[in-house]
Chain A
């Protein structure tokens, strides 16, 4: 049972345009959501997060939107840069404060110069 799903395995966008990565979840008890970015042969690095009490969080070029009624979140990157090319994982966590993140399968973003 995949509680966090990233249905698009890959996405390709032109440099300077917007990249939108999507993530769906099934467990309404999740109360915190995170995005991680992973380059080949490196560990994932934290990118941005959002609490379930918010519907938007912005950090520079990165904005995460949360739609709780649809159990959907998205990551917007504007403008996209070639260095953003990586695998993006969304992750969700419950309220038990355990650090047990549930990750999606990842979306590979390619930003073309």
Chain B
């Protein structure tokens, strides 16, 4: 498809387990972002990647969270030893370049539920 693709769309896991969420950005987009939306909250910035530059990880809530982007395309967000407060919709977005003025193209999100 032409849009940002995320998988899985839904993930239910037990507290303490590790999870991986995948994002396939729009072809040709050099910037990739991860946000999350907890229940009743706005979107919270987690991390972004721009080309081959070092990622900005300033939004990651703890060291249990990590992300990588291989080959400048697909990205994986990993949450280790999940906690109930990690339950949220994790949204990936991409854009032509890192920008504050252009639009971000979001995927449909991965809904994570930690029991």
Contacts and interface: CB of A to CB of B under 8 A. Distances in A.
Interface size class of B (residues with CB under 8 A): 20 to 34
What is the predominant secondary structure among interface residues of chain A facing chain B?
A: loop
Nearest to B44: A103
Nearest to B46: A100
Contacts of B105: 46
B109 A49 contact: no
Interface of B: 4, 31, 33, 35, 40-45, 48, 50, 56, 58-59, 91, 93, 95, 98-101, 103-109
A93 to B, nearest CB: 4
B4 A105 contact: no
Contacts of B101: 32, 49, 51, 93
A60 interface: no
Contacts of B95: 99
A43 B45 contact: no
Given A43-B91, A43-B109, A101 B104 contact: yes
